[in-house]
Amino acid sequence: MAIVGCVHGEETVGKKVIEALKNMDIIKGAMLLVVANEATLRKRTRFLDQDLNRSFPGKKNGNREEKIAYELKSLLQTVDFVISLHSTSTNTKDLVIIKKDTSGVNKLIKAINPLRVVHFPKGFGDGALENHHKAALAFEYGYHYAPATYNKSLRDIKKVLVSLGMIKGVSKSKAKNKTSFFSIYGSVDKPRGFKMKNIRNFSLIKRGDTLGWVKKEKLVATENFYPALFGPKAYPDIMGFKSKRLSNK
Ligand SMILES: [Zn+2]
């Protein structure tokens, strides 16, 4: 089991959770705790040369993030499960992000019982860590620096550790959440000078609904979709992702 924090250095929740996990009494197996991008954590910045979560599988002699990706990928092949910790500027609440629909990933999802899972299929974020391990997923658990983000991240990691028999604890038999599954299929371009409406992630947007404005001109949705990771500061060039809701597993 590996817990990876600070793939994005400004998302300091990963470091905090890792500090808390250092005191766990592991009774079975081993837990690897990795602060992925120390230099960006020190500078409270997202990356130095390029986004680390777009850099996998990395390069042995590449730029700084490519080298980290290369070494981290090889290190993570030694563990059965990986959870990568992120936080967001958007109103996504508890979101688990997956790239692969493997039995290992599904085992983690079952233990976590999250509110929502979003799948990024091939072509979306292929350079992410989650795409380069057989049983890896990412937490995108709420606002940067919010205490709830830390608490929920730590709580759900503990659920996984209990389910794997790695720490003592009571496995709750009844799942609290009915997990909703979404799949990304596109993104919405953000024109220059765009001012986004307050959009609730994973709440259906219908064709014709207002997304925001460029000066006084209104921009509307051209089709129905579920917005994922929409936020005014989420991405430089897109508003966020379009997803479809999958029938529950
Ligand atoms: Zn992140």
List the domain boundaries for the chain: 2-163, 185-246
Cα 208 to ligand 1 centre (Å): 31
Quote the pLDDT of residue 75. 98
Strand order in the sheet with 194-196: 194-196, 210-214, 217-220
Q: Which helix (H) or strand (E) holds 220?
A: strand 217-220
Mean pLDDT to the nearest integer, 196-201: 95
CATH assignment, 2-163: 3.40.630.10
The rounded distance, in Å, linking the Cα atoms of 13 and 4 is: 11
Cα 50 to ligand 1 centre (Å): 13
Lookup: tokens for 159? 């659920």
The rounded distance, in Å, linking the Cα atoms of 126 and 85 is: 17
User: What is the pLDDT confidence band of residue 83, given thresholds at 50, 70 and 90?
Assistant: very high
Cα 99 to ligand 1 centre (Å): 15
132 pLDDT higher than 80: yes
Strand order in the sheet with 32-35: 32-35, 2-5, 82-88, 136-143, 95-98, 116-119, 180-189, 238-246, 226-228
Q: Give the residue with greater pLDDT, 151 vs 175.
A: 151
Tell which CATH architecture fits domain 185-246.
Beta Barrel (2.40)
Quote the pLDDT of residue 169. 87
Cα 11 to ligand 1 centre (Å): 6
Cα 170 to ligand 1 centre (Å): 31
Pairing, β 180-189 against β 116-119: parallel
A 10 A CB-CB count for 83 gives: 24
Q: Which helix (H) or strand (E) holds 137?
A: strand 136-143
Residues 228 and 239 sit within 8 Å (Cβ to Cβ):
no
Residues 116 and 202 sit within 8 Å (Cβ to Cβ):
yes
249 pLDDT higher than 60: no
Cα 90 to ligand 1 centre (Å): 11
Q: Which helix (H) or strand (E) holds 226?
A: strand 226-228
Quote the pLDDT of residue 176. 84
Mean pLDDT to the nearest integer, 33-45: 94
Share of the chain above pLDDT 90, in %: 89
Mean pLDDT to the nearest integer, 167-195: 89
Cα 27 to ligand 1 centre (Å): 30
Cα 69 to ligand 1 centre (Å): 15
Residue 145 vs residues 22, 82, 155: alpha-carbon distances, Å: 20, 22, 16
Cα 215 to ligand 1 centre (Å): 30
Task: Report the SS3 class of residue 192.
Answer: coil
The rounded distance, in Å, linking the Cα atoms of 200 and 246 is: 18
Cα 210 to ligand 1 centre (Å): 27
241, 142, 106, 125: CA torsion to nearest 10: 40
Residues 6+ apart with CB under 8 A from 172: none
> Taking all residues of the chain, what is their mean pLDDT, rounded to a whole number?
94
